[in-house]
Amino acid sequence: MKKRIGVLLSGRGSNFEALADSVASGRIPDAESAIVISNREGAPGLERAKSRGISTRAIPSKGLERETYDRQVVAVLNEHKVDLVCLAGYMRLLSPFFVSSFPNRILNIHPSLLPSFPGLESQRQALEYGVKFAGCTVHFVDENLDAGPIVLQSVVPVKDDDTEDTLSARILQEEHKIYSEAVRIVLEGRYKIEGRRVMRIT
Ligand code: GRF
């Protein structure tokens, strides 16, 4: 049976598209894109999903308590029999209820080399700090911000003439590569977790 991927997003959805492309081309084998959910009705990522014929759902979060909202999202993910949840620019913390509904089955992509620069505007944080290398991280998700065990990271150089835009673009290219690779590793079960360490089994 194909593994079913559910994507949560709040914005443009380029990481979602990279995953959908990898599913369609077989780079992520034996998988299908089951549902894309957004907490923002106008998220461009929803349109991108629709144009690919993938089911979408906007579930507005405004005014709802965190767990009340998450129960709605988890219900839709279960309705669509999702095996793996991929956060792709999803601008919300998950409740313990959500996390325990998909144990070791939620991934996130973050545009920094965690644990450096968690939270918002990581690329700007990296530039302002003056690091010479930046990058991105795919990690398992827990209830804390950008905090779970790391599956993959990729490093890019920071150039003297970089702006937030040029650095973000260089990192984004790597995000699109490592997110698909991490999803493949997790869906194939080719890993074990010891403490915080995610180790590949080849
Ligand atoms: C990416 O930089 C991702 O790492 C971060 O939010 C951004 C989302 O971009 N979590 P997109 O919506 O996938 O294009």
On average, the pLDDT of the chain sits at 97
Say whether pLDDT at 88 is over 90. yes
- How many Å apart are CA 17 and CA 122, to the nearest integer? 21
Among 150, 136, 68, CA closest to 107: 150
Verify whether residue 110 is a known catalytic residue: yes
For residue 198, the CA-to-ligand 1 centroid distance in Å is 23
Whole-number percent of the chain with pLDDT over 70: 100
Atom 7 of ligand 1 has which residue's CA nearest to it? 89
Atom 10 of ligand 1 has which residue's CA nearest to it? 89
Q: List, chain by chain if needed, residues with CB within 6 Å of any ligand 1 atom.
A: 9, 11-15, 45, 88-89, 109-111, 172, 175
Q: What ligand 1 atom has the least distance to the C-alpha of 172?
A: 2
What kind of fold does domain 3-200 have according to CATH? Answer: Rossmann fold (3.40.50)
The pLDDT value given to residue 41:
95
Domain locations in the chain as residue ranges:
3-200
The pLDDT value given to residue 55:
98
pLDDT, tens digit, 9 for 90 and up, residues 18-51:
999 999 999 999 999 999 999 999 999 999 999 9
- The backbone torsions φ and ψ at residue 8, rounded to the nearest 5 degrees and listed phi first, read -110, 130
pLDDT, tens digit, 9 for 90 and up, residues 102-156:
999 999 999 999 999 999 999 999 999 999 999 999 999 998 999 999 999 999 9
Say whether pLDDT at 86 is over 90. yes
Say whether pLDDT at 202 is over 90. no
Among 107, 195, 188, 103, CA closest to 152: 107
Q: To test the ligand 1 pocket, which listed residue (87, 154, 172) has its Cβ within 8 A of the most ligand atoms?
A: 172
Indicate the DSSP class of residue 49.
H
Indicate the DSSP class of residue 80.
T
User: How, if at all, do strands 3-9 and 31-38 pair?
Assistant: parallel
With a CB cutoff of 8 Å and minimum separation 6, the contacts of 202 are 190
For residue 77, the CA-to-ligand 1 centroid distance in Å is 21
The pLDDT value given to residue 162:
98
Q: To test the ligand 1 pocket, which listed residue (8, 14, 15) has its Cβ within 8 A of the most ligand atoms?
A: 15
Q: How far apart are the first and last CA of the chain?
A: 22
Q: Are 140 and 115 in contact (CB under 8 A)?
A: no
Residue 98's pLDDT band, with cuts at 50, 70 and 90, is very high
